[in-house]
Amino acid sequence: MLLGPDGSGKTTVAEALSVLLRDSGTPTERLYMGAGTPGLPTRRLRQAMRRRRAARPGATSAPPLDAGRRHRLVEVVHVWADFRWRGRSQIRPLLADGVTVVCDRYAYDLATWNVPRLSGGRLVGLLRRSVRRPDITIFLSAPAEIIHARRDELTVAEIERQQRRLELLVDRLPGAVTLDASRSPDEIARAAAALLKPA
């Protein structure tokens, strides 16, 4: 599972890693597990209703999503439930068939959310206890300025905030590994593939 702020290269590395594994003869499937592509019917319905409202004549376009905005606890629970459902309906069947699953994002992304009712440490603790731990978690980390230069959707300050949260999570996850995201995607993918080889 690949973890990191937007711009750290998760999607590119996940694709390169999947190709490397397939080329080595390992059945592999890459899954994008971002919160923006829900699986639960209730979350899909909510997205569809939001799109309809935005498409109404005279409707003003919604402002860009603020990654650091405050989230209500009910949102966290709903998205967590969606990740859990997708894990059971998408990931587990593949694993049962002997397929290596490369997840681009995961429920651990919730660690970066700004939830006023939960401190960062408490949110991370809840995720550690309630989320099925992947066989390996790979955290892509680089200086915030480098990540911002690649993709400027987030401010440098927001990237730094998210990285601090993810570092807090990774430090508490047994077997989690941090890789230098300032390297090329192919280099990172090769390093990741080496971690997956049996000892």
- Separation of alpha carbons 127 and 197, rounded Å: 27
Burial class (CB in 10 A: 0-12, 13-18, 19+), 187: middle
Predicted TM-score of the model (pTM): 0.84
For the chain, the structural domain boundaries read 2-196
Predicted pLDDT of residue 63: 45
Rounded-to-integer distance, Cα 163 and Cα 153, Å = 15
CA atoms within 13 A on the CB side of 90: 19
Fold of 2-196: Rossmann fold (3.40.50)
> Residue 146 in contact with residue 9, Cβ under 8 Å?
no
Tell me the pLDDT of the chain (199 aa) as tens digits. 999 998 899 999 999 999 999 999 999 999 999 877 777 777 777 666 766 766 777 655 444 456 667 888 888 898 899 999 999 999 999 999 999 999 999 999 999 998 988 888 899 988 988 999 999 999 999 999 999 998 888 899 999 999 999 999 999 999 899 999 999 999 999 999 999 876 5
**Closest among 195, 154, 199 to 2, alpha carbons compared:** 195
Pair 75, 69: CB distance under 8 Å: no
Q: What is the pLDDT of residue 62?
A: 45
Name which of 160, 121, 128 is nearest 141 in CA terms: 160
| pLDDT of res. 198 | 64
CA distance 140 to 13: 9
pLDDT of 119 reads 87
